[in-house]
Amino acid sequence: LPAAYDPFEQAVRAVVGQQVTVKAAVTITRRLVERLGEPLQDALPGLEMLFPTAQAIADDPLDNIGMPSKRAQALRRLAAAVAEGALQLHVEDGADALVQRLCELPGIGPWTAEYIALRGFGVADAFPAADLGLLKAPMWGADGISAKALARRAEAWRPWRAYAAIHIWDNYSKAAKGG
């Protein structure tokens, strides 16, 4: 399962992406990078900025970039914990331990933590059961499926639930595009 080059960047993207469309999350992330990222010298077009450091995000009020204040607070707490070394983003002691550490931070729940494990570290069994795309995929019919019912169903897919999530997201995406 492909993982992000920088787990911290993926964690930031997961928090920014809470309860918004992918398009909105991309816009907010772009604003964050434009505001706090460091410019790259002799950069290729489209690759002009480095992603902001944890300290830069922790120190900024994150106002006027399009995020609700509670989400901005959650992002700043995450960044501060990483910058201070209080939160280590790794899976050496298991993905469940990472998910637990992340969920201890206010504003980060199971969806965000599981998404970080899946996208940030390529954990094959990570499964963000409350993800809207997973719940509303056409394969579940017009009414979709509840997070609780999906989590129960996903137990049969262990230890490969992340692959199932990617398949379901693909089903959702193709339907959204009319295919």
User: 155 in helix, strand or coil?
Assistant: helix
pLDDT band at 47 (very low <50, low <70, confident <90, very high): confident
Kindly name the residue from 93, 131, 143, 170 that is annotated as catalytic. Answer: 131
Considering the domain architecture, whether residues 96 and 54 belong to the same structural domain is answered as: yes
Domain membership of residue 168 as a residue range: 132-177
Q: Kindly state whether residues 114 and 138 are assigned to the same domain.
A: no
Per-residue pLDDT, 177: 85
Backbone angles phi, psi at 92, to 5 degrees: -60, -35
Residues 162 and 107 in one domain: no
Element (DSSP H or E) covering residue 80: helix 69-84
User: Do 90 and 28 share a structural domain?
Assistant: yes
Same domain, 26 and 96: yes
pLDDT at 175: 86
Percent of the chain with pLDDT over 90: 88
Asked whether residue 44 is assigned to any structural domain, the reply reads yes
pLDDT of residue 105: 98
Claim to verify: residue 165 and residue 112 sit in the same structural domain? no
58-107 pLDDT tens trace: 999 999 999 999 999 999 999 999 999 999 999 999 999 999 999 999 99
Tens of pLDDT along 128-168?
999 999 999 999 999 999 999 999 999 999 999 999 999 99
Does the active-site annotation cover 131?
A: yes
Q: Alpha carbon of 70 to those of 73, 100, 105, 107, 170: distances in Å?
A: 5, 20, 12, 7, 30
Residues 56 and 110 reside in one and the same domain:
yes
pTM of the model: 0.91
Residues 6+ apart with CB under 8 A from 8: 54, 82, 89
Give the pLDDT of residue 46. Answer: 83
Do both 97 and 138 map to the same domain?
Answer: no
Q: What is the CATH number of the domain that holds 97?
A: 1.10.340.30
More confident residue, 80 or 44: 80
Q: Of 101, 121, 141, which closes a domain?
A: 121
Phi, psi of 39 (to 5 degrees): -70, 145
Q: Are residues 66 and 138 in the same domain?
A: no
| Mean pLDDT of the residues in the chain | 95
173 shares a domain with 149:
yes
Strand partners, 62: none
- Write down the pLDDT at residue 179: 65
pLDDT at 110 over 80: yes
